């Protein structure tokens, strides 16, 4: 079939993609068996507080608890495991290259044309 290739994404992706990568890293570490189950309670606890706050509900402090909880979780995880997952998320995207001859394409989907640059 095809060979496995790595695509390097844009490193200056922006604020929201940075937040998405942060929470993807937290999720990957939650699913990693090398991280202690006690450590995994930190993000779940902060999420539970976000859902069921026991104070006057304001979104600012609830979001702060989520951010603080995820930061604390990353600090409590083994540094080598965090570095491994961070590298996977930030540096590469897996993709499989396929030979165009092996693709199943209908003849009616092909447009026969010539390219001219003027």
Domain residue ranges of the chain, discontinuous segments joined by +: 10-96
pTM attached to this predicted model: 0.53
pLDDT tens digit at each of 118 positions of the chain: 455 555 555 555 677 777 888 888 889 899 998 988 889 888 888 888 777 777 666 667 777 888 888 888 888 898 999 888 888 877 655 566 666 667 777 777 777 788 788 7
- Number of residues that this document lists for the chain: 118
Half-sphere exposure of residue 92: CA atoms within 13 angstroms, side-chain side: 10
State how far the Cα of 81 lies from the Cα of 33, in Å rounded to an integer.
10
**What are φ and ψ of residue 39, in 5° steps?**
-65, -35
The pLDDT value given to residue 47: 82
96, 7 contact by CB (below 8 A) = no
Q: What is the pLDDT at residue 13?
A: 61
Distance, in Å, from the CA atom of 40 to the CA atom of 64, rounded to the nearest integer, reads 18
At residue 46, the pLDDT reads 84
């Amino acid at each position: 079939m095809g060979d496995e290739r790595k695509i390097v994404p844009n490193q200056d992706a922006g604020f929201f993609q940075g937040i998405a990568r942060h929470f993807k890293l937290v999720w990957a570490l939650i699913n990693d068996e090398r991280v202690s189950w006690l450590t995994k309670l930190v993000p779940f606890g902060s999420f539970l507080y976000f859902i069921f706050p026991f104070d006057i509900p304001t979104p600012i402090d609830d979001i702060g608890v989520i951010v603080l909880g995820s930061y604390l979780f990353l600090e409590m995880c083994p540094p080598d495991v965090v570095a491994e997952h961070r590298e996977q998320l930030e540096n590469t995207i897996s993709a499989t290259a396929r030979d165009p001859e092996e693709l199943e394409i209908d003849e009616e989907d092909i447009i026969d044309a010539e390219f001219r640059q003027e």
